[in-house]
Structure formats: structure tokens, C-alpha cells
Amino acid sequence: MYKKLFVTGIGTGVGKTIISAVFTQYFQADYWKPVQSGDLHQSDSMIIRALIDEHLKIHKENYRLKVAASPHQSARMENIEIELDDFALPQTNNHLIIEGAGGLFVPLNEQFFVIDLIEKLSIPTVLVSRDYLGCINHTLLSIQALRQRQIKIDYMVLNGKFNPDSERIILKNINQHTKIIHLPEFNKLNKADIKKICTTLSL
């Protein structure tokens, strides 16, 4: 059975793209970024392409928006309305890693958020957390929001070094079925680094 996972984070800048690259490479999966908001000259799909095996497939984004802002704002500036019904899982006979935009409550339009897209696609998540002042609150709120929607968290990724006191509280609030992944701090990665990381994992 092919694995499908939606990589989301407790906020923006916590390392979703790097984690997506690691999971895509590890599972030899396809990759899909449904909405790219800004940085079209160096999109997340382009970054992933440079970090994974060349034969792995990257599916085209549904929306490529010019302004680096929340998708609903970027779309409005281009007179575009993002519609939830426009999203469907790409057809593939392979594993699939999907990367979201920002955190769970990043708005896609005036009504729907990223968490609504995850719920529509009906697949489990990889929740990425990073240690900073406020990360406990953001992580537990994300866990609770996913739990209320009955969206499974298959993997919890602690990205970078964590204060033991923060880590302890976070892990006490994770369901037993969730696999915990610890990854070290990375300043700059290349394809060889991603492959090396994959050899240390057991997903």
C-alpha cells in the first residue's frame, strides 16, 4: 500500500521543506506542493528537486502565486480565488509527500484554511516542530486542532536541538501511535546530506 503524508508545521520557517525532502527521498516518493505563495524563482518544488534523486516525480502546484504572503492575500492581489474543490490528490502509483503552506490555520481563502485541505484530502500528517519561545503553545495547539478534526499525526518531527523541558511537555501530549523523529540542526543541505540523513532513519 502506498503511503501518503501531508507535511505541516507549527508555523512558518520550522523546516517543512527540508523535512519534505527527507521523507520524499526516504520513501522514494512523489512530491507535491499544492500552493506556492511567493519565491517563484526558488520555489519549494525547485528546492526539493535539487535535494532528491532525479528520477523522483514532482507534481505541478495547483496555484503559483507571485507575492510572498498568506495564500489568501497573495491570491486576492492577483484577482484569484483559491477554491478547495480545485484540490485532489495527484494520480500516482507511488508514495506521495505533500507539503503545506505555513501552519494549519494559514488561510487559503476567506473561508478555508490549510487544515481544511488536509481534512479534504483525508490523509495523515507529519507535524514539524522547532524549539523557540512559544513552541510548546504552538505545538500543542496544532496537535489539538488535528485531534479535533480526527486527522492522524503519523510522525512528529522535532527539528533541531530542543530544550529538554520543552520536549518533555510536547511528547507527553502526543498519541502513542505517533512516531517521534529527532533531526539535528542543519545550516545548509545538499543531495548527499539528505541521503545521509535518510540512512539514520527508520520510518
- Binding residue ranges: 13-18, 37, 44, 99-102, 185
Total residue length of the chain: 203
Residues annotated as binding site for substrate? Answer: 37
Residues annotated as binding site for Mg(2+)? Answer: 17, 44, 99
Cell numbers describing residue 45: 518544488
Query: For residue 98, what is the enclosing H or E element?
Result: strand 96-103
CA distances for 105 relative to 10, 23, 60, angstroms? 10, 23, 23
**Catalytic positions, written as ranges:** 33
Residues annotated as binding site for ATP? Answer: 13-18, 44, 99-102, 185
Q: Residue 104's closest CA among 3, 203, 16?
A: 16
CA distances for 93 relative to 10, 24, 89, 125, angstroms? 30, 14, 12, 20
